[in-house]
């Protein structure tokens, strides 16, 4: 079991700003305590579901789909909590709102960058499908020209994806590199310590701490998995006082450990299992093409082997495309949730400002009478 002191880097470089702000459970009213407990228990259960049962199970598109789905549920839960607390944005501290708007803006940028990279991977399937089309044995054994064109297309995909066979990193993605800086900035500040001292505000702050911890973790893992480097990972340290801290620390240790282990093996740049499966099939098929293209009189044995390699690649590509589509849809849904929350806050502020202006106008009018 991981403990907070096991972390290599604290959640906040300047310490934990919540230490003097979070209310003790015993100090909460009978009305507020159940709301906070319900939120934290739900978060704990949600995080537990993300802990892989077997080593390496997490680095799959199905896990990534589950992770972003969990994150969306957490962001939705905190909106429900705000309503249950009856704590409108008009009662929030100005610096708190500024920090929320800044972080949500960064999160939208991160979501866009991740979606863009998923789309790029999906577009790469065009090269593989072109190769599969050229190697379609149902219309006869492919000519040498077709096999060489298929090989060139496979090699292009291997280069773009950072195939293990080439021992070179995939081309740099400036948007993903920018994500690392945005995530570091989000980890550096959650909100101002000069918040209103109401118990409701502190309960909400405690919940937002959980939202941000899960958000940073999931986004860091996604960025690391898609960028080909473990650099974006952060060791977020969560204090024991949260009901979800144990699950979170276990999840962080497991996932971050697996990613760092894989990247430490040298030239490995593909760690998503479905991508790894496709890469293996591409390497095998490319070697098969190299061998067969040199044979002047191809026999049944060679044709059968080539057909088997083509079939394996087609099945792996189908699984990858399906997984990428599911993750992309979840990312789009999460983007809409963040955007909706941001728009709701801005709308609330505009309504509050309009009401404030009307009140000032009424006061001025009465003073003139």
Backbone angles phi, psi at 30, to 5 degrees: -60, -20
Nearest to 238 by CA among 216, 257, 268: 216
Distance CA 259, CA 247 (A): 18
C-alpha–C-alpha distance, residues 194 and 263, integer Å: 41
Tens-digit pLDDT string for the chain (369 aa): 333 344 544 444 334 444 444 555 556 777 888 999 999 999 999 999 999 987 766 789 999 999 999 999 999 999 899 889 887 767 777 777 788 888 899 999 999 999 999 999 999 999 999 999 999 998 888 888 999 999 999 999 999 888 888 866 667 788 888 999 999 889 876 544 444 557 888 888 889 889 999 999 999 999 999 998 899 999 888 888 899 999 999 999 999 999 998 888 765 778 899 999 999 999 999 999 988 877 777 778 888 899 999 999 999 999 999 999 999 999 999 999 999 988 887 777 665 544 444 444 453 354 445
Q: Cα–Cα distance between 262 and 252 in angstroms, integer?
A: 15
Instruction: Give the chain's length.
Output: 369
Q: Are 281 and 309 in contact (CB under 8 A)?
A: yes
Distance CA 337, CA 332 (A): 9
Distance separating alpha carbons of residues 128 and 276, to the nearest angstrom: 14
Residue 271 structure tokens = 């760690």
* Positive/negative CA dihedral, 148, 149, 154, 156: positive
CA 1 to each of CA 5, 103, 212: distance values in angstroms, whole numbers, following the listed order: 12, 31, 22
Report the candidate in 29, 47, 27 with the shortest Cα–Cα distance to residue 39: 47
Enumerate residues 6+ apart whose C-beta is below 8 A from 140: none
Instruction: Choose among 203, 173, 155, 204: nearest CA to 110.
Output: 173
Question: With contact defined as beta carbons under 8 Å apart, do 263 and 230 qualify?
Answer: yes
Q: What pLDDT does 101 receive?
A: 87
Predicted local distance difference test score (pLDDT) of residue 14? 35
């Amino acid at each position: 079991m991981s403990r907070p002191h096991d972390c290599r880097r604290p959640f906040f470089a300047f310490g934990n700003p919540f230490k003097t702000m979070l209310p003790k459970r015993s100090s909460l009213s009978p009305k507020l305590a159940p709301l906070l407990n319900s939120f934290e228990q739900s978060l704990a259960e949600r995080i537990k579901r993300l802990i892989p049962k077997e080593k390496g199970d997490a680095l799959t598109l199905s896990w990534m789909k589950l992770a972003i789905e969990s994150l969306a549920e957490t962001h939705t839960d905190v909106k429900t909590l705000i309503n249950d607390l009856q704590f409108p944005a008009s009662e929030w501290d100005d610096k708190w709102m500024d920090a929320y708007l800044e972080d949500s803006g960064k999160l939208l940028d991160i979501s866009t960058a991740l979606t863009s990279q998923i789309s790029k991977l999906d577009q790469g399937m065009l090269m593989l499908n072109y190769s599969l089309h050229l190697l379609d044995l149902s219309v006869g054994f492919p000519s040498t020209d077709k096999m060489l064109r298929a090989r060139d297309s496979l090699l292009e995909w291997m280069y773009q994806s950072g195939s293990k066979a080439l021992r070179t990193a995939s081309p740099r993605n400036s948007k993903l590199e920018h994500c690392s800086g945005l995530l570091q900035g989000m980890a550096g500040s959650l909100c101002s310590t000069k918040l209103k001292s109401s118990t409701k505000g502190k309960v909400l702050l405690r919940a937002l701490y959980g939202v941000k911890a899960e958000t940073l973790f999931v986004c860091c893992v996604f960025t690391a998995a898609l960028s080909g480097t473990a650099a974006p990972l952060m060791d977020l340290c969560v204090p024991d006082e949260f009901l979800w801290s144990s699950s979170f620390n276990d999840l962080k240790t497991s996932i971050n450990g697996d990613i760092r282990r894989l990247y430490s093996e040298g030239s490995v740049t593909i760690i998503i299992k479905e991508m790894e499966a496709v890469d293996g099939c591409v390497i095998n098929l490319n070697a098969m093409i190299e061998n067969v293209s040199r044979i002047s009189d191809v026999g049944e044995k060679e044709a059968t082997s080539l057909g088997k390699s083509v079939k394996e690649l087609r099945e792996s590509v189908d699984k990858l495309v399906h997984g990428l589509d599911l993750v992309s849809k979840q990312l789009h849904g999460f983007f809409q949730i963040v955007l909706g929350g941001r728009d709701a806050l801005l709308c609330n502020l505009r309504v509050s400002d309009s009401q404030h202006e009307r009140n000032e106008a009424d006061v001025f009018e009465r003073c003139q009478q």
